[in-house]
């Protein structure tokens, strides 16, 4: 079956253009510059038609860089950038002056998993920043790694009910331990009751902690859980390249996701999760 895949989670980074603090002490293959051109051959082979670049640093230099690359890369259809949410007046000024008229600017993310406090989003100033996103119709991407991040997101959903939020990487399901589905499952089941939440099936290879040995069978229970509770219409898919390289090649990542989805969904469901929903979530112009 030919499906037009939209990769909703691609990173690039260039150490001459921005600082990536989380990579300061990294000794893995991630500690180098990654350019969008590196995946071109495998992107075509995997059937990826379009993509969304996602911020990799909490600074404007990174956002400016990925927007510049997106503007000159014909298959990139959107960007999730960064704004200083903890300073809502500055966030509004920056957005109005730099990004509001940029058609590729679709959403915002903050590396909340690098913040010491898992309740960082609940600061009054940050809530005001999130209200700006809601007013502007921007998606907010939640890069959580702990159950406490889901709990925090649930409180945000009450405080800013118009804000659409996407759980990046499904907020780290317990694939590595094999737990089904524990506290993660209970909280995600609660989250699905809020229509403002969307789920991104991404980053599961690294989450599995199996290196390049992870398979569709390893992730199927967790993907099925999400599809069952959130519904096919509220899920999308992304590679998380180049972080995904810790668990295999770009092309293999998409092979595993497609196998898992093919075992769980009919043709129309697969088309929705692999591509069609992303167009609606991000407001992509293809």
Cβ atoms of 253 and 247 within 8 Å: the answer is yes
Each domain of the chain, given as residue ranges in start order, spans: 5-282
Cβ atoms of 2 and 280 within 8 Å: the answer is no
Residue 36 CA to chain centroid, in angstroms?
17
What are the DSSP calls for 195-261, one per residue?
TTEEEEE--HHHHHT-GGG--HHHHHHHHHHHHHHH-GGGEEE---BTGGGGGS-HHHHHHHHHHHH
CA neighbor of 43 nearest in space, from 215, 260, 239 = 239
Across 17-39, average pLDDT:
97
Give tens-digit pLDDT for 234-263: 999 999 999 999 999 999 999 999 999 999
pLDDT-based confidence at residue 67 (cuts at 50, 70, 90)? very high
Query: Does 23 have pLDDT greater than 90?
Result: yes
Counting every residue written for the chain, the total comes to 286
Query: Does 135 have pLDDT greater than 80?
Result: yes
Two tokens, residue 255: 């092979």
- Angle between the N-to-C axes of helices 147-159 and 124-136, in degrees from 0 to 180, rounded to the nearest 10: 70
Predicted local confidence at residue 3, as pLDDT = 82
CA neighbor of 107 nearest in space, from 68, 133, 70 = 133
Query: Does 34 have pLDDT greater than 70?
Result: yes
The strands making up 235-237's β-sheet, listed across from edge to edge, are: 5-10, 48-54, 76-81, 105-110, 139-142, 165-167, 197-201, 235-237
Across 122-128, average pLDDT:
98
Q: Which residues pair with 165 in a beta bridge?
A: 140, 197
Tracing tokens 């920056």 back to the chain, one arrives at: 94
For 173: left if phi > 0, alpha if psi spans -120 to 50, otherwise beta; the answer is beta
Query: Does 1 have pLDDT greater than 60?
Result: no
* pLDDT above 70: percentage of residues in the chain: 100
Q: Which residues pair with 107 in a beta bridge?
A: 80, 139
Query: Does 188 have pLDDT greater than 90?
Result: yes
Give tens-digit pLDDT for 190-229: 999 999 999 999 999 999 999 999 999 999 999 999 999 9
Predicted local confidence at residue 2, as pLDDT = 74
d(C-alpha 267, C-alpha 265), whole Å: 7
CA-based angle 150:115:58, to the nearest 5? 105
Predicted local confidence at residue 170, as pLDDT = 98
Note the pTM of the prediction, 2 decimals.
0.97
pLDDT-based confidence at residue 279 (cuts at 50, 70, 90)? very high
Give tens-digit pLDDT for 98-109: 999 999 999 999
d(C-alpha 52, C-alpha 281), whole Å: 11
Q: Is the peptide bond before 181 cis (omega within 30 degrees of 0)?
A: yes
Query: Does 111 have pLDDT greater than 70?
Result: yes
Cβ atoms of 108 and 94 within 8 Å: the answer is no
Topology (CATH level 3) of domain 5-282: TIM Barrel (3.20.20)
């Amino acid at each position: 079956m030919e499906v037009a895949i939209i990769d909703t989670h691609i990173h690039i980074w260039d150490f001459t253009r921005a600082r990536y603090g989380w990579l300061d002490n990294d000794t893995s293959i991630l500690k180098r510059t990654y350019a969008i051109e590196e995946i071109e051959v495998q992107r075509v082979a995997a059937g990826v038609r379009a993509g969304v670049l996602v911020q990799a640093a909490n600074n404007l230099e990174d956002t400016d860089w990925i927007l510049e690359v997106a503007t000159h890369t014909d298959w990139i259809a959107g960007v999730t950038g960064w704004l200083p949410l903890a300073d809502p007046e500055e966030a509004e000024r920056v957005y109005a002056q730099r990004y509001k008229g940029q058609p590729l600017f679709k959403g915002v993310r903050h590396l909340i998993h690098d913040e010491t406090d898992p309740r960082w989003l609940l600061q009054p100033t940050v809530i005001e920043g999130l209200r700006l996103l809601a007013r502007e119709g921007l998606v907010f991407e939640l890069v959580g790694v702990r159950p406490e991040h889901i709990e925090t997101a649930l409180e945000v959903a009450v405080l800013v009910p118009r804000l659409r939020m996407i759980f990046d990487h499904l907020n780290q399901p317990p694939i590595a331990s094999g737990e089904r589905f524990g506290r993660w499952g209970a909280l995600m089941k609660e989250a699905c009751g809020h229509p403002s939440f969307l789920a991104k099936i991404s980053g599961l290879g690294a989450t599995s902690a199996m290196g390049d040995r992870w398979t569709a069978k390893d992730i199927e229970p967790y993907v099925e859980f999400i599809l069952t509770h959130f519904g096919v219409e509220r899920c999308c898919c992304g590679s998380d390249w180049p972080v995904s390289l810790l668990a295999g090649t770009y092309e293999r990542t998409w092979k595993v996701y497609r196998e898992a989805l093919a075992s769980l969904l009919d043709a129309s469901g697969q088309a929705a999760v692999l591509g069609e929903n992303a167009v609606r979530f991000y407001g992509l112009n293809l």
